[in-house]
Amino acid sequence: MIELRATTLTALPALQYMLAEAGLEAPHFSFRSAWEVFQRFLAVPSDAADDVAGFQATWVRENALDPVLEVRLCRQVTDARGAFGTTTRVVGVEFRFEGAPDDMDETELWASDFPSRKAFVEQVERSREFQYALEGRLIESEAMVLEEGDPQELKGGLRR
């Protein structure tokens, strides 16, 4: 039996393994199923210097007439790299939805802003963006990793 651990190098393979084990394959797995896997992923022990869960929703407006709502369930992991400083990566599952209500807010929630992971999960599940994602018109979904400074980071950047 493989013991999964979360570091900047192992978090993405661990998440991909957990998604595959649940029978979820990109680009069309459901948000609801991935949320269940993601919650188990958050329970994977961490060997990272810093590790925080996040929920992010932002608009991608490549086509102004048909914006896409992007929702990300993520885990930001930071490892010390000796003389080379630190490495920070955001690992998670990203979903793109079409037809979301125009007044849907962009949001960014981090578990470190809540007294417990349970409180974070409860707030995420109460958010309008999460509720939309449960039933929204999904275009695609995928496991992803972003490095600090990646141009695809949300406008707020990585959590500090």
156 falls within a domain: no
Name, in order, each residue with C-beta under 8 angstroms of 42's C-beta and a sequence gap of 6 or more.
Answer: 53, 75, 117
Q: Is residue 52 part of a domain?
A: yes
The pLDDT score that the predictor gives to residue 1 is: 62
Average pLDDT over residues 18-34: 92
Cis ω before 27 (30° cut-off from 0): yes
- Supply the DSSP symbol for 151: T
Determine the Cα–Cα distance for residues 107 and 104; give it in Å rounded to an integer.
Answer: 9
The pTM assigned to this predicted structure is 0.87
93 vs 102 pLDDT, higher one? 93
Q: Can you list the positions of beta strands (E) in the chain?
A: 50-60, 68-80, 86-98, 107-110, 137-147
pLDDT over 60 at 160, yes or no = no
Higher per-residue pLDDT: 1 or 86: 86
Most confident segment among 1-15, 62-76, 100-114, 141-155:
100-114
Q: What is the mean pLDDT of residues 104-111?
A: 94
Per the structure, the complete domain to which residue 58 belongs is given by: 11-147
Structurally, the chain folds into a number of domains equal to: 1
155 belongs to a structural domain: no
Asked if residue 128 is part of any domain, the answer here is: yes
- Tell me whether residue 4 is in a domain: no
